[in-house]
Amino acid sequence: MEALVAVLKEHPGPWVLFFAVLFKLVTLLLGQLPTPKVVRRDEFQLWRWRNLNISIVHSLISGTWAFSSVLIWPETISDIHRYHTPQSYLLVCISTGYFVGDTFDILFSGNALTSWEFLIHHALVISSFLFALYTHLYVGAAVIALLVEVNSVTLHLRLLLKAAGAASSTVYSINKVVNLFTFVAFRLCTQFYITWYIAINYSKLDSAFFFMCALIIMNIMILIYFFRLIRSDFFRHAGHGTQNGKLDTKKFITD
């Protein structure tokens, strides 16, 4: 592991592109799996279905990896600026590849305008992660940030169920409660911890201004998503935003 990561640290850029291509190949393989008829009827929903499938694969990998890294190496939490392990560096490199690949997928699919929020998010994540990969600083912060992928599993499952017209199912009802819990525990708390850490150590950290600005933007976006999620899953009249049990295509990104 140490030898592999040593190679990655010498030239992280090409390796990020390698992992981006690798995720693209996995996307093509997942495209061979059966797809619900309701999804196949609409070109946008079909693209989004495939996009969500590779996203959930990344979330399962990175979320589990980040969570286990924090448990095994608690120094990751106490020193998010300089501490990291070879395993955590590899995780950040792989995840950066996913976000680069997903950005290109959004751009070349012709859905950039409807997915502009994701593009802003990805730009902030990619720039922050690349900084960590090239400077070997804030790798721990990137690992902690990837804890949000634990929530992304239930968040993506929620959208997959909606796309399949299963928003009224028992599975969806259970998932929306679990999703709310993981959103607070692994997205809100994680993001606010990193913000708090940089704020109280601002004068001691490298490039603290850049990271604080990026965090403020992402925190605002996350809070908007949180209130949107609450409104959609817990305060919206059943069936609102759907047509005959099917998800309204134009609202697919935001719901």
- pLDDT on residue 241: 47
Question: What share of the chain has pLDDT > 90, as a percent?
Answer: 78
- pLDDT on residue 157: 95
pLDDT for 7 beyond 90: no
**Structural domains of the chain, count:** 1
pLDDT for 231 beyond 90: yes
Q: What whole-number distance in Å separates Cα of residue 249 and Cα of residue 49?
A: 12
The pTM of the whole model exceeds 0.85: yes
| Out of 43-47, 133-137, 233-237, least confident range | 233-237
- pLDDT on residue 239: 47
49's tokens: 């279905």
For residue 247, name the pLDDT band (cuts at 50, 70, 90).
very low
143's tokens: 């690992």
- pLDDT on residue 255: 58
Q: What whole-number distance in Å separates Cα of residue 80 and Cα of residue 140?
A: 4
Residue of 78, 18, 29, 85 lying closest to 54 (CA atoms): 29
pLDDT for 254 beyond 60: no
pLDDT for 208 beyond 80: yes
Tell me the CB-side half-sphere exposure of residue 66, using CA atoms within 13 A.
28
pLDDT for 209 beyond 70: yes
- Structural domain harbouring 117: 2-251
Q: For 11-37, how does the pLDDT look when each residue is reduced to its tens digit (9 = 90+)?
A: 999 999 999 999 999 999 999 988 998
C-alpha distances out from residue 103 to 59, 96, 100, 113, Å: 16, 11, 5, 13
pLDDT for 202 beyond 60: yes
| Out of 88-92, 110-114, 201-205, 250-254, least confident range | 250-254
Residue 242: strand pairing partners: 247
For residue 74, name the pLDDT band (cuts at 50, 70, 90).
very high
pLDDT for 251 beyond 60: no
